[in-house]
Amino acid sequence: MQRRYTASTIPPTPQQQWAVSSITITFILTFIILSLQMISPSLSTKYIHGTKLEMMALLLLSGLTMSSVGMATNPAYGLAVNSYGGISYGNLYYATWSSFITALGGLISYIRTERGIDIYSEVSSRGIRFRHWSMLIIVTVIVMGSSASCYDVKCDELYNEVHPVKYCRRAAFGVSAGCIGCVSSLSVVVMRLVCATPTPEGKANKTIFILECILSVILFGMYGFAVAYLTSEQGPGAPLGNLYYSVWVSFALIFLVATSCFEEFQAAKNMILLGRSRQQDGSTNSVYEREALNSDVSIAASDFGTSSSPYADDYASIADEGGGGPQSSVASSAYSSRVTGSVGEVQI
């Protein structure tokens, strides 16, 4: 009777075993390195700090924690999330993500201190909007992967006979939205790295900025709809999980990008209007000065006689200098290019 009412034991799947193994290896390796640093700092400095062994350890830890995140947060494996993609074991969910972020931060720190490559400063030096586009690549990949995982669990015809139509449609839309967002943000990042110039000369910077504006508007509308469509009651992003967090973060990043593009457009517009008003004021003043000087020249010529007067040439030279000649026009054009040619992150 006891056997009849006792639930049958389900053996762990290979994916679950690998997730537990990767987390265990991460813990053991981290514990050994920290223990060596505390027990013998000299040996740790000699054999670990700044060596290839430390780089290999950080690469291994980053790979193990990334795989543990993929296994633990996949709805098909039932570790940290359930079959609907919602968090069922919060400690495991947040701990795996924290371990991956920590390992990745250690690897970036090693690259900066030991190899002299400061990735964060390089990204930050190109502007806040560029940093948002770079972050958007990662977040949209999570949107795409989470939507695909939810679709595979609930909508795969090979394993399920009952398919929730609305759920499957919204999961498919999440895959499409994530793919479009990833390709768009990656295209902008690549173009700004390869095609953008530090000077306002040429049309490449203007083209990149126009493309950023167009993509930000399209993605803003798409992800505004995706937030409501995917996180609704019957959507795959309704429970708290990877899809819920990633789609909201994507929408926030796109909003910041669109705001930055609008502010840069307004700044460029104001500078162009300022340059035109300066040119108009300069041309008006030059007309008044030219008339005044010409009148002085005519008076001087009538008083002193013909062009053989020694003062005629002096008055003519003064009139040429103040009358909007070639030097004046060159200066005003240089001012205009200086005012309108250095706006924003791509120097439009």
Asked if residue 102 belongs to a domain, the reply is: yes
pLDDT greater than 80 at residue 277 = no
Per-residue pLDDT tens over the stretch 232-248: 888 898 888 899 999 99
- Residue 305, domain member (yes or no): yes
Q: What's the confidence (pLDDT) of residue 114?
A: 84
> Among candidates 211, 220, 185, which has minimal Cα distance to 346?
211
Residue 49, pLDDT above cutoff 70: yes
The share of the chain scoring above pLDDT 90, in percent, equals: 34
Domain boundary among 84, 117, 150: 117
Instruction: Please choose, from the candidates 222, 215, 250, the residue with its C-alpha nearest in 3D space to the C-alpha of residue 145.
Output: 250
Helices 165-194 and 128-155: crossing angle in degrees, nearest 10, is: 150
Note the pLDDT of residue 99: 93
Task: Establish if 232 belongs to a structural domain.
Answer: no
Most confident stretch, 59-68, 264-273, 299-308, 333-342: 59-68
Mean model confidence pLDDT for the chain: 78
Given 95, 117, 139, which residue is the final one in a domain?
117
Give the pLDDT score at 315.
39
Residue 6 belongs to a domain: no
25-64 burial code (b ≥16 CB/10 A, e <16): ebeeebeebeeeeeeeeeebeeeeeeeeebeebbeebbeb
The most confident of 144-158, 180-194, 280-294, by mean pLDDT: 180-194
Partnered with residue 81 across adjacent β-strands are 87
The alpha carbon torsion through 117, 119, 121, 126 (nearest 10 deg) reads 120
- Contact in structure between 136 and 223 (CB atoms under 8 Å): no
pLDDT over 90 at 134, yes or no: yes
Instruction: Please tell me the predicted confidence (pLDDT) of residue 5.
Output: 40
Residue 161 lies in a domain: no
Q: What pLDDT, on the 0 to 100 scale, is given for residue 304?
A: 40
Q: Which of 68, 99, 117 is the last residue of a domain?
A: 117
Q: Is residue 101 situated within a structural domain? A: yes
In a domain, 26, yes or no: yes
Other beta carbons within 10 angstroms of residue 301's beta carbon come to 16
Domain membership of residue 61 (yes or no) is: yes
Q: Is the dihedral of CA 254, 260, 264, 270 positive or negative?
A: positive
Res 10: pLDDT: 67
What pLDDT is stored for residue 257 in this prediction?
94
Reported as a pLDDT band with limits 50, 70 and 90, residue 211 is very high
Total domain count, the chain: 2
The pLDDT of residue 348 is 66
pTM as predicted? 0.72
pLDDT bin (cut points 50, 70, 90) of residue 320 is very low
Range of the domain at 24: 12-117
Report the range of poorest mean pLDDT among 116-125, 131-140, 156-165, 264-273. Answer: 156-165
Q: Which of the two residues, 42 and 186, has the higher pLDDT score? A: 186
